[in-house]
Structures are given as C-alpha cells and as structure tokens.
Amino acid sequence: MTDLSARRLLLVHAHPDDESINNGATMAKYAAEGAHVTLVTCTLGEHGEVIPPALRHLTGTELGEHRLGELTAAMRELGVEDFRLLGGKGRYEDSGMMGIADNDDPACLWQADVDTAARDLVEVILEVRPQVLVTYDPDGGYGHPDHIQAHRIAMRAAELAADAGWEIPKIYWNRVPRTVAEEAFARLRADLPGLPFGKAATVADVPGVVDDERITTVIDGTAYAAAKAAAMRAHATQIDVAELYFALSNELAQPLFTTEYYELVRGERAAREESDLFAGVAGAVTVKEAS
C-alpha cells in the first residue's frame, strides 16, 4: 500500500530502458531516501533493435517478454519496487520509429485513443497520488511516436485526475542543458580512442536538449552513478555501457549523465534553481523524516 505521508514520484516512459537513461540517478536517489517511486512504462518495446548478436533472434512478443525481464532487473538496481505497464501487460504495443509501417498497427501506442490510454494512467494516479510527475516534452524528446504519445497521455491523465480529485502539484519534463551536453561531448571526443565505440554521437542525438535558461531543476545523482550504470546495463538488448559512456543500436557513443535535469512546466517554483523535485510541496517528506 502506498504511504500517503511520503514523497511520491510518478514517471511515465515509452519503453523499457528509457527510464534508466533519462532518470536512473533520480529514481535511485529518491528510492534510497524512502520516497515512493512509481514507474509506468507504456509499451514493452517489441520493435526495438537488438544489440547483442546472440539475442537478435528475439522479435515481437518474444522480445517484449525479454525486455520486461530487463526492466525488472533494472528496477532492482535502482531500488524501485513499484513499476507497471500502462493498462496491463500487452495493452499497448511498440509503434516503431516514426514513418514506418508499424505506426499504422491498430494495437500500437501511436494509434491509441489518448483519452482511453490516459484513463488507464488515471487509475494509477488516483491510487498513488503522486506529488510529482515526470515525463517527456511534446516532441517526446526526439520525435519518437511512442515518446510523443507518452507525453500526451501523461499530460491528459494529469488533467483527468484533477477532475477526479487529485491534482498533481508539480509536473516536469526531462531536459539536458545545452552547455552541459556540449561539454560532455567534448570530453567524449577526447576519450573516444580508449572506448569500445568507433564514433561519437552529437548533441543533436540527445533527447530533450534545450538552452540552459529552460532548466529549472538539477538533481545531483553522483552518489547513484553506479546504480544508474547498472540499470542501463540490465537493458542489454538496447544499451552498451562503457564507464561514463554508452551507445544504443546505432553504435554511436553518448555521455552517461549522472546529474539529471528537468523543466518545471506545472506548479510553483520554490527557488531560483531547484535541487529537489519536491521543493515547495507541502507535507512531502521522506519516510526517514516521517519515522
């Protein structure tokens, strides 16, 4: 049962692995502090491209089952016990990248009615009663149809939940400040000869990069860097991790950010630059503080 005296954080993501890449340090930090962290994943990523040759036989439903196992292992690394699939297992399928035939599958998330899918999320919101919701920006960070749809569903669910009696005090979108990304890629280019990756990605390949002034909240996850890296490694079909860097199926190296950044889009800012997603939320205390 959810402890309604505790801090309660809800994250909405499109596929298994998105949560660890975007918010792994944040999730580990708040879970370790005793907050109730809930992850809702919208699909099982049935159309993801598989990296390890030994696992490339996995496709469709079989891949989705495997990725659910990876998600379970990743949550164990982050200390998160409450993770769910939107509408239940298999309710919404991966839509694939934008512009391919999979986008037209009636079973995929991209084709789902937003209000119908949002009502599935409202059930979770009314149970957990989160004070903070984290999801993507309207472009889904980089234009993937499932990420865009996850954003729409999360924002609509927040509206419907408010009508049903629970208004989420603060809503954030995942972000990366441009100067931080540029500095991290400069380090990556210097380190690249010693890494198992042949080429580097670019700042444009990182979801959610915005000008620095858009950033409202900085979560220092340095203490949870190992947990984030371990969670990312658990998603072995999708991510190849090497020290402070990682690559997806395109084999282009990217920085692994252990400080994570957010833009507050709904709710009152408690400070010029927040260091806590729950800043200013009345009664939001850690379990340790409450005990």
227, 77 Cβ separation under 8 angstroms: yes
Token code pair at residue 147: 């990420």
The answer to whether 15 is a known ligand-binding residue is yes
Residues in the chain: 291
Q: How far apart are CA 248 and CA 264, in angstroms?
A: 28
- Partners of 233 in the β-ladder: none
The answer to whether 120 is a known ligand-binding residue is no
Q: How far apart are CA 278 and CA 131, in angstroms?
A: 7
Q: Strand, helix or coil at 200? A: strand
The answer to whether 151 is a known ligand-binding residue is no
Q: How far apart are CA 90 and CA 95, in angstroms?
A: 13
- Cβ within 8 Å of residue 20, ≥6 positions away: 74, 78, 228, 231, 232, 234, 235, 239
Q: Can you say which residues are annotated as belonging to the binding site? A: 15, 18, 147
Sequence ranges of the binding site for Zn(2+): 15, 18, 147
